């Protein structure tokens, strides 16, 4: 895998082995679930439901760790903390925009690498 990749699947390989079909299945699942979670997060933000924003960030956190998206590991934790503690909520829109943008780029890279449906 080249260095400009935003994700690193070594953790996933470690957990499920080298079976490419299974890897694709999980990558596809990540794409599907993260799109949905991001949409829910945007919606919660628009309704100022910060607790829910925090919960959704918590939910997404383990997937980001699993997919080795290093550049989001700190941001997702910050979103979770700010949301759950209802602090610095004015910073949340910027953080969530960045989160959405990086994840979209990851999806593109994954599509290229695995020829997803």
Partner 1 sequence: MHPFKIFIVEDDRLYGELLTFNLSLNPDYEVELFTCGADCVSNLYKNPSAISLDYSLPDMSGLEVLERIKKYNSEIPVVIVSGQEDVRTAVHLLKQGAYDYIVKDEDTKDRLWNSMKNIRENLQLKMEIIELKEEIGKKYEFNSIIKGKSNAIMKAFKLMEKAANTNITVSITGETGTGKELVAKAIHYNSSRSKKPIVTVNVSAIPKELIESEMFGHEKGSFTGATSRRIGKFEEANKGTIFLDEIAEMDLNMQTKLLRVLQEKEVTRVGGNQIVKLDVRVIVATHKNLTEEVRKGNFREDLYYRLLGLPIELPPLRERGNDILLLAKHFIDEFCKENKMEKLTLSASAHEKLMKYPFPGNVRELKAIVELAAVMTNTNTIDAEDITFSSAKGMTDFLLEENTLRSYIQKIIKHYLQKYDNNIVLVAEKLDIGKSTIYRMLKNGEIEI
The residues in 15-74 that bind partner 1, with binding defined as CB under 8 A, are: 15-16, 22, 26, 29-30, 33, 55, 58-63, 65-66
How many Cα atoms are found within 13 Å in the side-chain-facing hemisphere of 71? Answer: 14
Encoded one letter per residue, x for contact with partner 1 by CB under 8 A and - for no contact, window 93-112 reads: --------------------
Instruction: Output the smallest distance, CB 83 to partner 1, in A.
Output: 12
Instruction: Output the smallest distance, CB 87 to partner 1, in A.
Output: 17
d(CA 63, CA 12): 10
Contacts of 19 (CB under 8 A, 6+ apart): none
Asked whether 48 and 11 are in contact (CB, 8 A), the reply is: no
Count of residues interacting with partner 1 (CB under 8 A):
19
Asked whether 80 and 51 are in contact (CB, 8 A), the reply is: no
Q: Which is nearer to partner 1, 52 or 100 (CB)?
A: 52
């Amino acid at each position: 895998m080249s260095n400009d990749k935003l994700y690193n699947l070594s953790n996933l390989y470690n957990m499920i082995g080298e079976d490419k079909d299974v890897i694709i299945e999980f990558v596809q699942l990540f794409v599907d679930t993260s799109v949905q979670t991001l949409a829910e997060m945007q919606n919660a933000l628009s309704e100022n439901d910060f607790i829910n924003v925090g919960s959704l960030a918590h939910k997404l956190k383990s997937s980001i760790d699993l997919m080795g998206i290093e550049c989001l590991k700190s941001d997702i934790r910050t979103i979770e903390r700010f949301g759950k503690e209802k602090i610095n909520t004015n910073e949340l829109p910027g953080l969530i925009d960045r989160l959405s943008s990086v994840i979209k780029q990851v999806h593109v890279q994954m599509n290229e690498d695995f020829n997803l449906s």
